[in-house]
Chains A and B, each alone.
Chain A
C-alpha cells in the first residue's frame, strides 16, 4: 500500500473514531436548511424557488465547519512536522488530507441532500441535477478550503480568519452550481454551467494541494 493511501486511511480512521465531527457537519447542514421554511413561511412555490440556492449555501457552510481542524490537529501535536519529514511529499500530504475531508464531510452532505430537497418541495426533475452539482461542488469546497486552512494555520484567531478568506472564493462555485439546477428547472440546458463547474474542479485539483503544501511549509518554518 502506498504512503498516500496509508495517510488517507489514518485520517479516515481518526475521523471515524471521533465520529461526532462528521455527524456534526451533516446535522448542521440539515438544521441550517430547516431554518428557512420557519423564516420565510411555508409557501410551497417560494420554497421550491429558493431550494437549490439554500441547499448549496448550507452545504458550503457545513463544509466550512470542520475545515479549521483539517491541518490544525496535526500541527498542534507535532504530527505535521513528522509528516513533512516522511517519504511523502508535502503536496501528497495535503491532497490526502483534503480527500479525507471530502469523504468525511462532503460525501455525507450529498447523501443528506435529497431529503432536504424534499423538505423544500424541489420539483422531481431537480433531484438528479442537484446531486450531480453537489458531486462537483463539494470536492471544490474541500479543495479551496484546504488552501485556506493551510494559510491560516498557526494564525491567531485562525478559526475566524478562515471563513473570511475562503467564503469569497466559494462564490464562483456557488453561482455555477445554483445556475445548473435552476436552468434544468426552467427547461434549459445545464451543460454550460456543469462544464464551468467541472473546469473549476479540474483547475483546483492540482493547484490546491500545491498551494496548500507551500502554505504548510511556511507554517512549519
Chain B
C-alpha cells in the first residue's frame, strides 16, 4: 500500500516520485505512497530524514522539487484553496497565545475555519481531549503537554467529511499516556468516519492497520558521504 501502483482514479491522497530539497541537499527522492479513505500512514526515520518536510509538503506549506501530490486523482497544486480546506495540520509549534484562555485560543481557530458556533465546538473539542477543566485558564499557565492538547483539539472541531486529512508532526511528544490513548481514540474515530491520517512519530502509538513509511529508504544515494547525520544509529528503522 505504501509504494507504487498510483492509479490516478484512486480516491484519497497519493504521492508520485516526490523529491524534496532543503538548501542544496536532497532530503528524500522518488518517494511514492497512496493513502485511501480510512487509512493511516506512519512516517518513521532518523532525525533529518524528512518527516517534517514531507508533512509540510502534504500540507502545501512548501512545494516539492519534483514529483506530484494528488487528491482523488487531481494535482493538489491545481486548487490549493480546496486542499487547505480539507486538511488539518498540527506541527511542532502549538500556536497557543499566552494571554488567551484555552477556550478562546481554540474558538479563534474554529471561527477562522468558518465553522458555526465556534465557542460550542471549541468546548466540545477540549472535552474530547479531557481539557475542559482548564478551558478558562490563560495559555501562559498551561504546561507543554496541555498546550499540545489545545493544539490537537483543533482536530476535533470539524467532522471527518469537512476536513478528512490530518497531518500530525510528532503528535505524541509531551503527552502523557492517557492523552496518547485519547488521541489514538480520536484518530480511530476519524478513520472510521472515512478520514485519513499521516503522522510522524518516534514513540509507539497504537494506530491499528497503519502503513509505515521509512523515510530513510528514500534518502539521497551514497555519493553524499559528508551527510553523516543521516546515518544516526539507535533509531528503529
Report which A residues bind B (CB closer than 8 A).
Answer: 1, 3, 6-7, 10, 13-14, 17-18, 76-79, 81-88, 220-221
How many residues on chain B are close to A (CB under 8 Å)?
Answer: 26
Closest chain A CB from B139 CB (angstroms): 9
Closest chain B CB from A104 CB (angstroms): 14
Closest to A86 in B: B112
CB neighbours (8 Å) of A10 from chain B are 100, 108
B87 interface contact, C-beta 8 A: yes
User: Is B92 touching A78 in the complex (CB atoms < 8 A)?
Assistant: yes
Considering only residues 64-98 of chain B, those with a C-beta below 8 Å from chain A are 84-85, 87, 89, 91-97
B235 interface contact, C-beta 8 A: no
Closest to A3 in B: B112
Given known A3-B114, A14-B97, A79-B95, contact A85–B61 (CB-CB < 8 A): yes
B113 interface neighbour in A76, A78, A79, A86, Cβ under 8 Å: A86
Closest to B151 in A: A78
Complex CA–CA separation, A87 to B61 (angstroms): 14
Complex CA–CA separation, A143 to B59 (angstroms): 30
Task: List 9 extra interface pairs beyond A77-B95, A82-B95, CB under 8 A.
Answer: A77-B94, A78-B93, A81-B61, A81-B89, A85-B60, A87-B84, A87-B85, A87-B113, A221-B61
Complex CA–CA separation, A3 to B97 (angstroms): 18
B100 interface neighbour in A3, A13, A87, Cβ under 8 Å: A13
Complex CA–CA separation, A79 to B105 (angstroms): 10
Closest to A82 in B: B95
A85 interface neighbour in B59, B92, B93, B99, Cβ under 8 Å: B59
B86-130, CB under 8 A of A: which get 1 and which 0? Answer: 010101111111011000100011011110001000000000000
